[in-house]
Amino acid sequence: MSESEGSERDNDLWRYIPIGEYAKPELPASDLLKDQMQPVWQYIKNTRFLKNVIDWLLRQWRQPHGNSKSDSAQSKNLVQLLPELLDRVTPKPHWKAASKAMHQMLRDWAADGVENERKEGRMRWQRIVLDPPFCGTREIMEHLAAEQGWPIVEAPSPEDILNGGKEWVSDVASKEGSPLVIPCLERCYLRHYNGLSLIQELIDWLITSNRHCLIGCGSWAWAYFKAALNLGPLFPQPYILDALSGKDLKKWLALPLRGAEEERLVFRRSNNDRKILLSMNNGEVDENSRDSESVDNAFFETLAAYSLGNPGVARAVWRKLLRVAAEESGRDADAGASEGEERTIWVSPLSEQDLPGLPPTRARSQFFVLHTILLHGSLPPEVLREVLSISTIDVLETLHHLHHSGLLEIDMDLLEWKIASAGYPAIRRELDRAGYLADQT
Amino acid sequence: MNDLNIPGDKDPVKIVRGFDDIDKSGIILIIIGAWLLIKVAERFFPWLAERFPARFRFYILPLVPILRFIIVIGAVVLIIPEIIHPKLENLIAILGALGLAIGFAFKDYISSLIAGFVAVYEHPYRPGDWVRIGDAYGEVKALEARSIRMLTLDDNLVTIPHQKIWDSAVFNANNARRELMCIADFYLYPKHDAAAVRQKLVEVALTSPYLQLSRPVIVIVAEKPWYTQYRLKAYPVEGRDQLLFTSDLTIRGKAALGKMGVEPATGVFPPPGTEEESNS
């Protein structure tokens, strides 16, 4: 199946909505209780005696209720998928359908929105689209601008920003074409005492110039701009990619499985053997098969809530949960499958999975580094040191710890540090708990 | 004559049970039980508070002194009948004697206990608050029955009796909130653009990683005979970082003002090295 066909099928997954309408997916009630009990369970796990007692009781309970099926996950030694198979079942998102959704959202505005709004007495020349981490908004915006021939504004360098950036702003003002696309407003400032002048100059120009501008902005940076520069009342309500629900995620994660006619993939939960996802037949989810009655949908509700409805985070977590039986691990991803053969991929429980989490030390410098990187999207170590006013050794040591914990990774295109997608929910939760400003998603 | 005799059960000697009649093991068990309950409460509630969101901490921690008080009262109520004959006349006699003794000997101690009880309800301070009482300033670490324990910024543990609340002002910097206002002072040579300096100091605060962005940043400017004073007021995310936050504001503020060419007040006017000095 071609990419374009695929993107048409998932068109209805992507919706850009005003931020005021945005709602995060909620945890199912059973998981909510489990979530509340997490500290107690953690305490029990840390107390060896209590843990042994609970384990013994669970063993006693499980023995008579145990699953006797020979292919159950308990009877197998499960291992992680080989990279080839992992990439085949969870390929990188191409964002084509999301790009169409953005174009749809912008179509009226880009064509005659300004005229209409002028008639209505609301001079709204800008359209702001927030970019939560890993939602691909920047890439989508750049792709759309290239497709439509809209001029794109390149982000200024850190030196430009620290020197006030007057020249950069006048370069932007002299650009021709409409609408002008500024895909990453979060890269137009630095959280440094000399790093706010450029963004203030740019905002002054945006407000007074009456230029038609499409602006992409990191959701964390927008929260900072609203709090520090009081940008909220100056601009129209931003738009944002709607959070994916459990149902949306199930559909989206099943998309790459279409066309695998020679091999039927079945995804089962490793703790109860229940099916949660079946490969598609002829491009449709195999919902009507006789197996579909036993398909467990609650898993995706939990995944959607844990990943905050964020597709990039959900995909990263999903990849970390997938397992195969050890004896099948060596089997080639593409070879060796005969027609109609069924292959089981086991999905570890979300709560038990060893997803990245903050080191128990919770050092102040860790919060500083994580928060600063989120505010700027990504940063090289030397700029991080300049922004935080801490020593290079402290910065490097903290980066090393966070990288080791799976919370940070290097953006190989920019050679800058960025947040690792699977660690994002834990980072956001801990920063929020510690009282740091968080985005609205 | 019989009418003049004091009945045996009203004999003061008989108010208290004989030593052999007292259930000593029962009393010891009550004391141990009460002690154990207090210890459990002292460990359980702080443990619980750490696991709940921060906003609940200030409601959970004050339960410890209340429970401790209830347990002690309960233990006393259980022990008294073991020692004296539990009759109204006996109780009045004992309490009267106790009141007299306490009035003279333990006046301050009892005053502190009562003040401690009042403090639990009036909330002049709670564990986690940053308070100044007299010359002491620090974080309230524990509310004991008689006193509070406060850890100062110099890492000294200060014990202050609750009775101070009767006659001293208690300055509470955060009042159960996590953040508290910090102030960094700048004293500048008066010849400068005050609006630009004020704006730069706001930016210094807004770009501090310690800053709580949900609270306002304020700069107060005052013209003095020999200098212009700027008071940069802002809130850190974590109250415990107040010294680090103030230092960060001061260091970066000085650097930012230095880059603007603004001179600090030195006590020598005009400041050495300035154009005005060379003209004079």
Q: Along the 441 residues of chain A, how does pLDDT read in single tens digits?
A: 444 444 545 667 889 999 999 998 988 776 666 666 666 666 666 667 777 777 777 777 766 554 444 456 555 688 888 888 888 888 777 777 888 889 888 887 766 555 555 555 455 688 999 999 999 899 899 989 988 899 999 999 999 999 998 999 999 999 888 889 999 999 999 999 999 999 999 999 998 887 889 999 999 999 999 999 998 888 888 999 999 999 888 888 887 776 555 567 888 888 777 888 766 554 455 554 445 445 667 888 989 999 999 999 999 999 999 888 877 766 655 554 555 567 888 888 886 557 888 887 778 899 999 999 999 999 999 999 999 988 889 999 999 999 999 999 998 888 899 999 999 999 999 999 899 999 988
Residue A96 tokens, joined: 């084509």
> Does residue B84 or residue A152 have the better pLDDT?
A152
Q: Which residues, in sequence order, are CB contacts of B171 under 8 Å at separation 6+?
A: B131, B132, B133
Taking CA–CA distances from B259, the nearest residue in chain A reads A194
Distance from first CA to last CA of chain A, Å, rounded? 34
The 3 state secondary structure assigned to chain A is: CCHHHHHHHCHHHCCEEEHHHCCCCCCCHHHHHHHHCHHHHHHHHHCHHHHHHHHHHHHHHHHHHCCCCCCCHHHCCEEECCHHHHHHHCCCCCCHHHHHHHHHHHHHHHHHHHHHHHHCCCCCCEEEEEECCCCCHHHHHHHHHHHHCCCECCCCCHHHHHCCCHHHHHHHHHCCCCCEEECCHHHCCCCCCCCCHHHHHHHHHHHHHCCCEEEEEEHHHHHHHHHHHCCHHHCCCCEEECCCCHHHHHHHHHHHHCCCCCEEEEEEECCCCCEEEECCECCECCCCCHHHHHCCCHHHHHHHHHCCCCHHHHHHHHHHHEEEEHHHCCCCCCCCCCCCEEEEEEECCCCCCCCCCCCCCCCHHHHHHHHHHHHHCCECHHHHHHHHCCCHHHHHHHHHHHHHCCCEEEECCCCEEEECHHHHHHHHHHHHHCCCCCCCC
Give the predicted TM-score (pTM) of the model: 0.79
- pLDDT tens, residue by residue, B55-80: 676 677 777 877 888 898 899 888 88
Residue A32 tokens, joined: 């909510």
A contacts of B238 (beta carbons < 8 Å):
364, 434-435
pLDDT computed for residue A70 by the predictor: 46
pLDDT computed for residue A360 by the predictor: 77
Contact by Cβ (8 Å): B178, A435: yes
Residue B259, CA distances (Å) to A174, B176, B252, B256 in order = 30, 39, 11, 5
Residue that the structure tokens 């953006």 belong to: A411
Residues, chain B: 280
3-class state of residue B227 by DSSP: coil
Suggest the residue from A190, A193, A394 to mutate for an interface test with chain B (most B CBs closer than 10 A): A193
Q: Do B252 and A194 touch (CB under 8 A)?
A: no
> Which of A43, A228, A388 faces B209 most closely, judged by CB atoms?
A388
Exposed / middle / buried, residue B195 (Cβ in 10 Å: 0-12, 13-18, 19+): exposed
pLDDT computed for residue A105 by the predictor: 86
Beta strand B228-234 with B130-133 is: unpaired
Which residue in A86, A16, A10 sits closest to A267, CA to CA?
A: A86
CA quadruple B245, B246, B251, B256: dihedral sign: positive
Q: Please check whether residue A360 touches B, CB under 8 A.
A: no
Contact by Cβ (8 Å): A14, A97: yes
Taking CA–CA distances from A365, the nearest residue in chain B reads B209
Q: Do B213 and A39 touch (CB under 8 A)?
A: no
Residue B222 tokens, joined: 């005052």
Can you list the alpha helix ranges (DSSP code H) found in B148-280? Answer: 164-167, 194-206, 242-260, 275-279
- A-B CB pairs within 8 A amount to 50
CA–CA separation, A246 and A25 (whole Å): 8
> Which of A228, A364, A433 faces B206 most closely, judged by CB atoms?
A228
pLDDT computed for residue A69 by the predictor: 47
CA of A429 to nearest chain B CA: how many angstroms apart? 11
Beta strand B147-152 with B157-161 is: antiparallel
Contact by Cβ (8 Å): B39, B1: no
The residue type of B8 is G
Residue that the structure tokens 């029955």 belong to: B145
B contacts of A368 (beta carbons < 8 Å):
209
Q: Do B209 and A191 touch (CB under 8 A)?
A: yes
Which residue in B247, B237, B249 sits closest to B178, CA to CA?
A: B237
Taking CA–CA distances from A433, the nearest residue in chain B reads B53
Residue B232 tokens, joined: 């940069």
Q: Do A389 and B252 touch (CB under 8 A)?
A: yes
Phi and psi (nearest 5°) for A428? -60, -45
Suggest the residue from B44, B201, B202, B206 to mutate for an interface test with chain A (most A CBs closer than 10 A): B206
Q: Do B178 and A435 touch (CB under 8 A)?
A: yes
Q: Please check whether residue A205 touches B, CB under 8 A.
A: no
CA of B38 to nearest chain A CA: how many angstroms apart? 21
Q: List the 369-428 stretch of A: residues with Cβ below 8 A of B.
A: 371-372, 387-389
Taking CA–CA distances from B179, the nearest residue in chain A reads A435
A contacts of B207 (beta carbons < 8 Å):
191-193, 195-196, 387
Q: Do B209 and A227 touch (CB under 8 A)?
A: no
Identify residues of B whose CB sits under 8 angstroms from chain A CBs. 47, 51, 53-54, 178-179, 200, 203-204, 206-207, 209, 212-214, 237-238, 241, 248, 251-253, 255-256, 259
Q: B219 has which bridge partners?
A: B232
Which residue in A381, A49, A383 sits closest to A189, CA to CA?
A: A383
CA quadruple A226, A229, A231, A232: dihedral sign: positive
Which residue in B71, B168, B166 sits closest to B111, CA to CA?
A: B166
Q: Do A192 and B54 touch (CB under 8 A)?
A: no
A contacts of B214 (beta carbons < 8 Å):
227, 437
Q: A397 has which bridge partners?
A: none
Q: ipTM, 2 decimals? A: 0.83
Q: Do B51 and A371 touch (CB under 8 A)?
A: no
The residue type of A197 is S
Q: Do A39 and B237 touch (CB under 8 A)?
A: no
Q: Which residues, in sequence order, are CB contacts of A137 under 8 Å at separation 6+?
A: A102, A129, A130, A131, A216, A241
CA–CA separation, A440 and A218 (whole Å): 11
Q: Do A228 and B214 touch (CB under 8 A)?
A: no
- The angle formed by the CA atoms of residues B195, B199 and B204, to the nearest 5 degrees, is 145
> Which of B178, B179, B256 faces A193 most closely, judged by CB atoms?
B256
Q: A410 has which bridge partners?
A: A417
Taking CA–CA distances from A228, the nearest residue in chain B reads B206
pLDDT computed for residue B142 by the predictor: 86
